[in-house]
Chains A and B, each alone.
Chain A
Amino acid sequence: MNPTNYLILSAILFSIGAGGVLVRRNAIVVFMCIELMLNASNLAFVTFARTNGTLDGQVVAFFVMVVAAAEVVIGLAIIVAIFRTRNSASVDEPNLLKL
């Protein structure tokens, strides 16, 4: 097994995620891209754990999944709340705090 390929895949997935966060306006899509980045990092963790023969990376991957789940719960709640008031899921629209 060659870990390089996994790491390359991880890097590609992370870049797609980051790019998505930066260019997309729809909050749901931005959210999905964030998930993509989290999972790309999970992949890297698991790969390194396998390479080094330790469990540390695997454990961290679990933590990341838990955090991601919690984040989704809160994030989606916010998005739904914003959508209800403004009829839009665009991340550029909520700008009341801006001068």
Chain B
Amino acid sequence: MNNTLAILASGEASPGEVVQATGTFGLIAVLIAIPVAGAVILLLAGRRSNRWGHWLGTAAVLSSFAVACVLFLALLAEPDDARTINQHLWDWIDVGTFQAPFALQLDPLSMVFVLLITGVGSLIHIYSISYMDHDPERRKFFAYLNLFIAAMLLLVLANNYLLLYVGWEGVGLASYLLIGFWFHKPSAATAAKKAFVVNRVGDFGLSLAIMMMFATLGTFTFEGVNATVGEANSTTVTWIGLALLLAACGKSAQFPLQSWLLDAMEGPTPVSALIHAATMVTAGVYLIVRSAEIFNLSETARIAVVLVGTVTLLMGAIIGSAKDDIKKGLAGSTMSQIGYMFLAAGLGPVGYVFAIFHLLTHGIFKALLFLGAGSVMHGMDDEVNMRRYGALRKYMMVTWAVFGVGYLAIIGIPPFAGFFSKDEIIHAAWVEHPVAGVAALLGAGVTGFYMTRMVAMTFYGKARWEDGAHPHESSPWMTGPMIVLALGAVVAGYMMLYVGNIEEWLAPVVGYQEVEGGISTNLLIAMTLGVVIVGVVIGWRQYAMREVPEIAPTQVSALTVAARHDLYGDDVNEALFERPGQHLTRTLVWTDNKIIDGAVNGTAAGIGGLSARMRRWQTGYVRSYALTMLLGVVVLVAVLALGSLL
């Protein structure tokens, strides 16, 4: 216990010795191997596995989850400072000093991610069995989901940045395949491409960071970087931090790389729940927290993270407030909540733990909200426009109840999960960066507004359904996982904070420092709840007590118009990058055609014309050649004769 207190006081992470995997910990690789096998079998077996493919896919993730639980218990049994387990599988790249082992690392940080990924992943697999029931490509869907689970597990279990990059690209690929799952819709195909391209910008940051690490530190394993980064030049460390932030922004849809997430909602709803709410989009937060030692050393990089988080949490909340598409509303909300996590991660040792804490609770309640939205869509013939919902409470009692739990969790009503995690972030931000703290408080109010709007438009008010809509409750395969997640959304926050003591659990890896001074916790809780309630009341008055028009009104404030256009994110990208890029390429094509080709073709044409002229000299008459020769000889002789005379 003294040891833990010392860690808490210093704020430094001290992971202790890295232990080689033995006994139970040999199972770490199995975690990844099972979903890989599932994906490979389903993809290779093709249509033959159509009948049982979804069962295999679900079984694979469930077994992974079982293995994760075993590992979790084994890790709990270890002492605090011996919970970083390395499993070296093989030497992947071994060239001189460039050594990339294919090695996995299980520590408290990756453990909670593994539990989230496999746990929520299993529930979403079960949900998808029923949700994708009518899709002829259901087997392929499960293959991609398994592929995603494997890549995501590799991402969080890698023990070096290069292997993490493999997982990072793997989840990008799975995300691309799943957003474009219904690729026969042009909008889905475009959205998949957009997500892929925007993510490439972020991936560029990650590869830059890895290159800089290798160039300055000579290593890119977590262990090596953590041990040596303190000796590096502080400017370099800042640049590595900023490059990592760029990578995190791309994957986590943070400003300025946020534009892809809203379009990514074209994918099937379970995908939105698993990849674009609970797990993949939070990989950026993982990257930053995993690189805590780097960010601890660079004030500038941390301020940049806080800035990105603060801007995005407000942007996402504003966008979420104006969307009529239920999934896009939730996507805006996801951006906003990840903004909170970035904000927390940017606060340094006081915030890392809470970034992960909020990530975990958010993973549960946001997956729940997306699955709830999927259930509503399922009952309403895939209608996503909330203006055509209304009064669904009586028809979908279970969905209403679980969505309600998710709603209370996300707006942060005690004792639901979001209350604990969000409150800790607002508190830490308030003390460390008051401006960000105020923004976070404001964001909590807007969260209350848009979530109330969503619930009111969907479940309350008058029915505004399309003709022929027959809303009905979804099958137990869909409601079951939602109920489990709803239980999680009720208890997870309290359990993790007070029973599981998440600060102590994570402190050996990421470091933890108690927030000191500033404002009293109770006052801040009261303020936050006050702001949230104001948001809820405004939302309720506007969308539950008044009639909601079926067609979105056009006479609205400038802010609403902007929010409907995703705050002009796409327009900015188009004006700043796309148009100049197009102009550049057009100019280059013109230069190539006119100037480069012009010079080459002009030279050829000039020589051709000249030779056509010169060819006329060749008459073809032997006698004229003879005459030329004779004249030549005469001239030569004359010159020689004159020369000898002179």
Interfacial residues, chain A to chain B (CB-CB below 8 A):
18, 21-23, 25, 30, 91-92, 95, 97-99
**B-chain residues with CB within 8 Å of residue A25 when the two chains form the complex:** 623
Cα separation A99 to B626 with both chains bound (whole Å): 19
Cβ of B621 within 8 Å of any chain A Cβ, yes or no, is: yes
Given contacts A92-B621, A95-B620, A97-B620, contact A21 B626 (CB under 8 A): yes
For B623, give its contact among A21, A95, A97, A98 (CB under 8 Å).
Answer: A21
Q: Quick check: A98 and B618 within 8 Å, CB to CB?
A: yes
Most A C-beta atoms less than 10 A away, residue of B615, B618, B620, B630 = B620
Chain B residue nearest to A98 in the complex (CB): B620
Picked from B615, B618, B619, B630, the residue with its CB within 8 Å of the CB of A22 is B630
11 contacts between A and B (CB under 8 A): A21-B623, A22-B623, A25-B623, A30-B622, A30-B623, A91-B623, A92-B623, A97-B620, A98-B619, A98-B620, A99-B618
A18:B621 contact, CB within 8 angstroms: no
Q: Mark B452-482, 1 if CB is under 8 A from A, else 0.
A: 0000000000000000000000000000000
Closest Cβ–Cβ distance, residue A79 to chain B (whole Å): 12
A-B contacts besides A21-B626, A91-B621, A98-B618, 18 pairs, CB < 8 Å: A18-B630, A22-B623, A22-B626, A22-B627, A23-B623, A30-B622, A30-B623, A91-B622, A92-B621, A92-B622, A92-B623, A95-B620, A95-B621, A97-B620, A98-B619, A98-B620, A99-B615, A99-B618
| Assembled-state Cα–Cα distance A46/B99 (Å) | 91
- Chain A residues closer than 8 Å to B621, beta-carbon distance: 91-92, 95
Chain B window 607-646, contacts with chain A (Cβ cutoff 8 Å), 1 for yes, 0 for no: 0000000010011111100110010000000000000000
Min CB–CB distance A49 → chain B (angstroms): 21
CA distance A92 to B630 in the complex (A): 18
Which residues of B are found within 8 Å of A98, using beta-carbon distances? 618-620
CB distance from A71 to the nearest CB of B (A): 15
* Smallest beta-carbon distance A92→chain B, Å: 6
Among residues of A, the one whose C-beta sits closest to the C-beta of B622 is A91
Q: B619 contacts which chain A residues (CB < 8 A)?
A: 98
Give A99 to B620 CA distance when docked, in angstroms: 8
Q: Which residues of B contact A91 (CB under 8 A)?
A: 621-623
**Chain A neighbourhood of B630, CB < 8 A:** 18, 22
Shortest distance from the beta carbon of A81 to any chain B beta carbon, whole Å: 16
A40 to chain B, nearest CB (A): 14
Contacts of B622 in A (CB 8 A): 30, 91-92
Instruction: Give the residue among B615, B618, B623 with the most A Cβ atoms within 10 A.
Output: B623
Give chain A nearest CB distance to B609 CB in angstroms: 15
Residues of B within 8 A of A97 (CB): 620
> What class of interface size applies to chain B in its complex with A?
10 to 19
Give Cα A99 to B612, complex, Å. 10
Taking the closest CB of chain A, its distance from the CB of B482, in whole angstroms, is: 87
Q: For residue A44, give the distance in angstroms from its CB to the closest CB of chain B.
A: 13
- With both beta carbons as reference points, the residue of chain A lying nearest to B626 in the complex is identified as A21
Q: How far is the CA of A23 from the CA of B627 in the complex (A)?
A: 10
Q: How far is the CA of A90 from the CA of B570 in the complex (A)?
A: 83
Q: How far is the CA of A92 from the CA of B621 in the complex (A)?
A: 6
Q: Within 8 Å CB of A18, what residues of B? A: 630
- Chain B residues 383 to 406 lying within 8 A of chain A, measured CB to CB, are none
Min CB distance, A17 to chain B, in Å? 11
Determine the distance from Cα of A97 to Cα of B620 in the docked complex, in whole angstroms.
7
Cα(A23)–Cα(B621), bound, Å = 11
Residues on A with C-beta less than 8 A from B615 are 99
Q: Which residues of B contact A21 (CB under 8 A)?
A: 623, 626
When C-beta atoms are compared, the residue in chain A nearest to B633 turns out to be A18
Taking CB atoms and an 8 Å cut-off, the chain B residues in 513-570 that contact chain A are: none
Cα–Cα distance between A81 and B620 once the two chains are bound (Å)? 19
The residue of chain A having its C-beta at the shortest distance from the C-beta of B624 within the complex is: A22
Residues 578-632 of B at the A interface (beta carbon under 8 Å): 615, 618-623, 626-627, 630
**A18–B627 CA distance with the chains assembled, in angstroms:** 9
Bound Cα distance A23, B630 (Å): 13
Query: Nearest chain B CB to A80's CB is how many angstroms away?
Result: 17
Closest to A18 in B: B630
CA distance A23 to B618 in the complex (A): 18
Chain A, Cβ-Cβ closest to B634: A18
Closest to A97 in B: B620
> When each residue 363-397 of chain B gets 1 if its CB lies under 8 Å from chain A and 0 otherwise, what string results?
00000000000000000000000000000000000
List the 3 shortest-distance A-B pairs measured between CB atoms, nearest first. A98-B620, A95-B620, A91-B622
Closest residue of chain B to A19 (Cβ to Cβ) is: B630
| Nearest chain B CB to A65 CB, angstrom units | 22
A23-B626 Cα distance, complex, nearest whole Å: 10
> Complex formed: what's the CA distance from A98 to B624 in Å?
13
Report the Cα distance A21→B618, complex, angstroms. Answer: 18
Q: Give the chain A neighbours of B627 by CB distance below 8 A.
A: 22
Shortest B260–chain A CB gap in Å is 65
Instruction: Give every chain B residue within 8 A of A99 (Cβ-Cβ).
Output: 615, 618
* A99→B502 CA distance, assembly (Å): 94
Residue of A nearest to B616 (CB): A99
Chain A: minimal CB distance from B319 (Å):
74
> What is the distance, in angstroms, from A33's C-beta to the closest C-beta of chain B?
10
Residues of B within 8 A of A22 (CB): 623, 626-627, 630
A21 to B630 alpha-carbon distance, docked (Å): 10
- What residues of chain A lie closer than 8 Å to B626, measured between beta carbons? 21-22
The minimal Cβ–Cβ distance linking B611 to chain A, given in whole angstroms, is 11
> Nearest chain-A residue to B623 (Cβ)?
A22
CA A92 – CA B625 in complex, angstroms?
A: 12
Complex CA distance for A25 and B621, rounded to whole angstroms: 10
- Minimum CB–CB distance from A88 to chain B (whole Å) comes to 14
Q: B615, B618, B622: which has the most chain A beta carbons within 10 Å?
A: B622
CB contacts (< 8 Å) of B620 on chain A: these are 95, 97-98
Name the distance in Å between A87's Cβ and chain B's nearest Cβ. 19
Determine the distance from Cα of A4 to Cα of B620 in the docked complex, in whole angstroms: 39
Report the separation of the CA atoms of residues A25 and B624 in the bound assembly, to the nearest whole angstrom: 12
Nearest chain B CB to A78 CB, angstrom units: 12
Task: Give Cα distance in the complex from A23 to B622, angstroms.
Answer: 11
Identity of the chain B residue whose Cβ is nearest the Cβ of A99 in the assembled complex? B615
Give CA–CA (A25, B619) in the complex, Å.
15
| B325: min CB distance to chain A, Å | 74
